[in-house]
Amino acid sequence: MYLQSDTAKLLAAALEVSVYVVPAEPGLTRAELVEVGRQQGLKDGEIGDAIGELERQCSLSARLMLPSNVFVTAGYLSHVEEPDLRNHAAFDAVVHELNELVRDVGAANARLDRVILVDRAAARSIARHDVEVAIAVLVLSGQLVEKDGTVRFASGGVRPVPSVVKEQGTLVRYHKPLKVRVLPTVRDVVARRGDGRPKTAEPFDTFADQLQYLGYGQFRLWWNRVVAELRRTDPSASPLAALVLAAALVEGVLTFVVKHARKRGFAVFGSADYEKDPRTWNISDLVASAARGGDTSILDVRSKLRTEMLIQTRHRIHAGRMLSEFAQGVPDLRPEEARAGKETAELVVRRVLDWLEKYPART
């Protein structure tokens, strides 16, 4: 498998690692690959290009998966991978059980239910997960065939157990440092399939999914547009634009939870002012209200102060405020102020998501 870009190689490593993380359902969806890339500090454009490069070489289904020939070496313990995610005892146990079956019923009839194979290995104090990994890798490497939940040798009869072959053969080493880099990320992304957490750790994208539950699904396009603009804005080149967009997301996320908070009868956003037309609300009042309500508040003291700093800096777009607050001339914006503004927006959105996890909205 030949990949040109470093990003594609990184995502390919994530696909490879997925076999060791979730052997029963290996591979990653396109959305999961995007999340892996983002958690690794990559940008959406380069992630998309890399996925396109992978799609030209991977098997395409619900999840992208590397071609089986990538796993041929992993199926043989004489090929040493560094790091090595294989439990060698699990590989021996799988081959041993099938060897015993071949001796009992012959090669043509030697088929064993996967679950039984795992149970028998587990009875020998080998972790079930490691046995599942061994089966998956041996299937991908072409040594085993799995069909309808049963496993058999791809061809032939009794064969040496993998560790014996390793001891008798010449060791070949493969250094795969990217596997170490992406392993924690892949574990996190795969865990999100069933642990109830949002599918993405990125707060802006996660909140877009919440809009429908809050009754504002029709504003998803607006939200995603502002998020996209902010991501494309270089704080060093356009600090004011970055601050304005960051503040717009703060104002938006707090505006969209007002109705839900009031419906629940919380003190947060409990002011009668929020019975008025939303065009009368302003960002400063929204932030102050989000910090009220005791246990039901959204913002704590730290996040409130950071948000107020963002608002104060953003106010430089108002000429009247500048005349009032900076009569001798307004100091130039620094890129670090813009970067801090974006971080503050992420913080506020994450605080809202934490609050919605505690007080979920379903409309």
Q: pLDDT tens digits, residue range 44-102?
A: 889 989 988 888 877 666 678 888 888 998 999 988 888 899 999 999 999 999 999 99
Q: How high is the pLDDT of residue 331?
A: 65
Predicted local distance difference test score (pLDDT) of residue 146: 92
The parts of the chain modelled with pLDDT lower than 70 are: 1-2, 59-62, 169, 195-201, 317-332, 362-363
Q: State the distance between the two ends of the chain, measured CA to CA, in whole angstroms.
A: 48
Q: Residue 21: its pLDDT value, please?
A: 95
Burial 73-109 (b: 16+ CB within 10 A, else e): ebbbbebebeeebbbebbbbbbbbbbbebbeeeeeee
Using CA atoms, how far apart are residues 346 and 249, in angstroms rounded to an integer?
Answer: 9
What is the pTM assigned to this prediction?
Answer: 0.61
Please provide the average confidence, as pLDDT, over all residues in the chain: 88
User: What confidence score (pLDDT) does residue 164 get?
Assistant: 87
User: Which pLDDT belongs to residue 185?
Assistant: 95
At 199 the pLDDT is 61
* pLDDT for residue 69: 85
Closest CA to 82 of 209, 204, 171: 171
